Amino acid sequence: MENLISQNPNILGGKPVITGTRMSVETILELFSAGMGTEEILKEYPFLKEEHIKAALELAARMVGKEESYIFKKSAAVTHEISRRR
C-alpha–C-alpha distance, residues 64 and 27, integer Å: 16
The CATH number of 5-85 is 1.10.10.10
pTM: 0.72
Which of 1 and 5 is assigned the larger pLDDT? 5
- d(CA 30, CA 72) in angstroms, rounded, equals 23
| Residue bearing the bigger pLDDT, 85 or 5 | 5
Domain ranges of the chain: 5-85
The Cα 86–Cα 79 span in angstroms is 23
Which residue type, as a one-letter code, is found at position 15? Answer: K
The residue ranking higher by pLDDT, 76 or 55, is 55
